[in-house]
Amino acid sequence: MIRRLASILVICLAPTAAAGERAPLRWGADAEGGAPYVFFDPQAPGGIAGFEVDLARALGRELGRPLQFCQYDFKRLMEGLERGDIDLAMNGLEVTEDRARRVRFSRPYYVFRLQWVRRRGDTRCPTLAACLERRGLVGTLENTSASRFLLSLGARTALYDSQVTPFEDLALARLDGVLVDLPIARTLVGSFPQLAAEDPPLPGRGFYAVALRKDDKPLARAVDEALAALVQKGELEAILQRWGLWDQGQEELWPPGLFAPERGRAPETGARVAAFRPVLSLPLLLRAAGVTVILAVASMALAVVVGTGVALGRVFGPRWLAGASLVYVEFFRGVPALLLLYLLYFGLPAAWRGVTGQDGMHISPFLTAVLGLGLVYGAYEAEIYRAALLAVPASQWEAAASLGLSWGQTLRYVVLPQALRTILPPSTTDFVALFKDTSLAGTITVVELAKQYQILSTSGASFAVLVQAGILTALLYLAMALPLGVLARRWERQLAPGG
Amino acid sequence: MVRIRVAELGKAFGGRWVLSGVSFAVEAGETLVVLGPSGGGKSTLLRCVAGLLPFEAGWVQVDRRVLRGGERVCRVWGGELGFIFQDFALFPHKRAWENVALAPRVVRRLPAKQARELAFSLLAKVGMAERAEAFPRELSGGERQRVAIARALAMEPSALLGDEITSALDPERKWEVVETLAKLKAEGLTMLLVTHEVALARRLADRVLLLAEGKVVEEGSPGELLDSPRTPELQRFLARAWEPTASGV
């Protein structure tokens, strides 16, 4: 969410290098992506730090043009280049085939590997292989080579857009392991004493490189030369050493001939690990649609139960219960569902830890989403039910009372069937709204339909394919929502007196 | 034998007494009609007797059970007193026979088949057997009120209470409902009816009681009371009451 907020504003901060004679280059990166790449650090000069910040300074010196940091949503960096918002993107961007089709990559400045992170003492998933075999849940960052690698292995995967969250979830045992780029693992595992990233990285590797506009050949050449110079002078090594990122693997960067600037295209070697084809398949969308349906139905079931209780409490309860019901409605109607999902997702385990002093509250993202959406829509339902209960004439209650029906019998046989007719149309509208709001669950790693499309849309597929997939996704939503309307109208007819 | 006894009943709304010191009795098999101008407290009185409204003073006795002022009234009589409403108050989502069968089924816990048979026989009694499958909205006002009467009888009450049961009906329908009640009266049904329609009192009442401004003003047989009113209140009421000629009710 924070990243989304940040992406609304493209903020170009002060130059990170001493001003040269020529105009600064606009360097796009997402400081929300975090350490060790680029991250906000109030103590650091310019307010940002990271090994790429140091690299940007060095590059600026070599190029004779300072690099000016522009905060840009990581997922939109390619677009940012194409739109001309930024001149170059350097933000742990892996060289992949599909990205290379859209942008021009410089020679790489870092060789990365994928690192398996596990809970200490966990015997179920000590390695990725064991985890795959036992169908464990693996967390990773969306739209990375790790996510595509896991997808190609058919692993059960939870996708995150913030790099700290998967580590938190692994510590909470919501995940069985995390697979991320080595720099992230090295940087973050230190903050979680219960996690370990000591095993050797996975075989195979990929490259981080600077992305430039396809047609910006002169700048590409200049950047390649500058990087080669930094390699030769040992400055790149010094920067990587400083951030604890230097390893034997980085020597691959050394022979400048391998990435000769005059080749002017993406390094072929980069494709070896990172070239996973964009997956844009109907089965994936259909499965996500299934998740959406189950999520919507389960949330609505909870909302109906909660709404009924709250409405009954409000209309028939003693004063304190009516008051509590009112507070419930006002609270859950007033709080954005998205915020509530975050609160539940992060707050429940934290509260558990606070109360019991130990980790390990197992509540899956899916259940969290059901809980959050159910509670919010329960408030909406309660108001509908309350209005419907009050719409049943008082003489109906009197007639039932004069016949000796108990309160419960009156409710069950007389009042609720009549209220149901009033309830159905607005409730159906609510259900359709809930249906679409299930997309919020994507923010807490539930891969429902909208999230699946979002994942596909950032996988680097061509524009035409994206539009097709978008239309397909929209049609899937419609295909699920339309029958609801038909069903509701039929119920209405059936429940109408004399119908 | 007294079926319903009301003694010194008082009812206040927001500190204002709308009924005070109301006393009367309804004998078994008798029909007592409470007449009075609108706003005189008739409907309030009937609701207090029926246990639909709490009251502050006095008591109501039905058979051997007593409800005192200040007590909670929640379903005190449990179907002992059938109630017929001005607006019928049929359950709109249930067919005519289901309206009648509901209470026997869920309160008396009769088997479904037996409850259904009971409903059909009661509907036959009010001449509605042929419309048993209809929903309330498919029935005319008179038909609805007859279904409501059958429903009120379904719990085999000691007495039937009626609140302005003909007010919402046009003249022909009034006739239909009044004749239905006349037939039930002939079979020995005890009734307490409140109305402002003098014709209904003439046709059904064994005794008439005039209620004005929350007090019983006059009581007697319909003949003596309606033809030779003694109090100015009754004279005023009768003078204002619209009474059809002998050609209709």
A272 vs B109, residue with greater confidence: B109
The answer to whether the Cβ–Cβ distance between B155 and A406 falls below 8 Å is no
Question: How many residues are there in chain B?
Answer: 249
Q: Give yes or no for A413 touching B (CB within 8 A).
A: yes
Chain B CB contacts of A398 under 8 Å are 47, 52, 83, 85, 89
Indicate if the pLDDT at residue A363 is higher than 90. no
DSSP character string of B27-74 = ETT-EEEEE--TTSSHHHHHHHHHTSS--SEEEEEETTEEEETTS--T
Distance CA B169, CA A50 (A): 87
Q: Give yes or no for B113 touching A (CB within 8 A).
A: no
The per-residue pLDDT for A305 is 96
Distance from CA of A409 to the nearest CA of B (A): 8
The answer to whether the Cβ–Cβ distance between A402 and B79 falls below 8 Å is yes
Residue of A nearest to B81 (CA): A402
Q: Give yes or no for B6 touching A (CB within 8 A).
A: no
pLDDT tens for each residue of B193-238: 999 888 888 889 999 999 988 899 889 898 888 888 888 888 888 8
CA B223 vs CA A15, B36, B195, B206: distances in Å = 109, 16, 17, 9
Q: Which of residues 41-100 of B touch A (CB under 8 A)?
A: 47, 50-52, 74-75, 77-83, 85, 87, 89-93
Indicate if the pLDDT at residue A107 is higher than 70. yes
The answer to whether the Cβ–Cβ distance between B103 and A405 falls below 8 Å is yes
* Range B64-94 burial, b when 16+ CB lie within 10 A, else e: eeebebeeebebbbbbbbbbbbbbbbbbbbb
* Helix (H) or strand (E) segment spanning residue A153: helix A145-153
Least confident residue range of A239-243, A387-391, B23-27: A239-243
Distance from CA of A433 to the nearest CA of B (A): 29
Q: Give yes or no for B103 touching A (CB within 8 A).
A: yes
Indicate if the pLDDT at residue A322 is higher than 90. yes
The per-residue pLDDT for A463 is 61
The answer to whether the Cβ–Cβ distance between A404 and B78 falls below 8 Å is yes
B199 vs A47, residue with greater confidence: B199
The per-residue pLDDT for B24 is 93
The per-residue pLDDT for A359 is 62
* Helix (H) or strand (E) segment spanning residue A148: helix A145-153
Q: Give yes or no for B104 touching A (CB within 8 A).
A: no
Distance CA A399, CA A401 (A): 5
Q: CB burial class (10 A; 0-12, 13-18, 19+) of residue B186?
A: exposed
Residue of B nearest to A493 (CA): B93
Distance CA A485, CA A463 (A): 33
Confidence of residue A262 (pLDDT cuts 50, 70, 90): very low
The complex scores an ipTM of 0.90
The answer to whether the Cβ–Cβ distance between B75 and A396 falls below 8 Å is no
Chain B CB contacts of A413 under 8 Å are 91, 102, 106
What percentage of chain A reaches a pLDDT higher than 90?
A: 29
Residue of B nearest to A417 (CA): B93
Do residues A229 and A125 touch, judged by C-beta distance below 8 A?
no
Q: Can you tell me the mean pLDDT for A362-370?
A: 84
Distance from CA of B237 to the nearest CA of A (A): 28
Q: Can you tell me the mean pLDDT for A369-373?
A: 94
Q: Give yes or no for A316 touching B (CB within 8 A).
A: no
The per-residue pLDDT for A264 is 36
pLDDT tens for each residue of B77-111: 878 899 999 889 999 999 999 999 999 999 999 99
The per-residue pLDDT for A271 is 33
Indicate if the pLDDT at residue A350 is higher than 80. no
Indicate if the pLDDT at residue A269 is higher than 80. no
Indicate if the pLDDT at residue A108 is higher than 50. yes
The per-residue pLDDT for B1 is 74
- Identify the DSSP state of A257: G
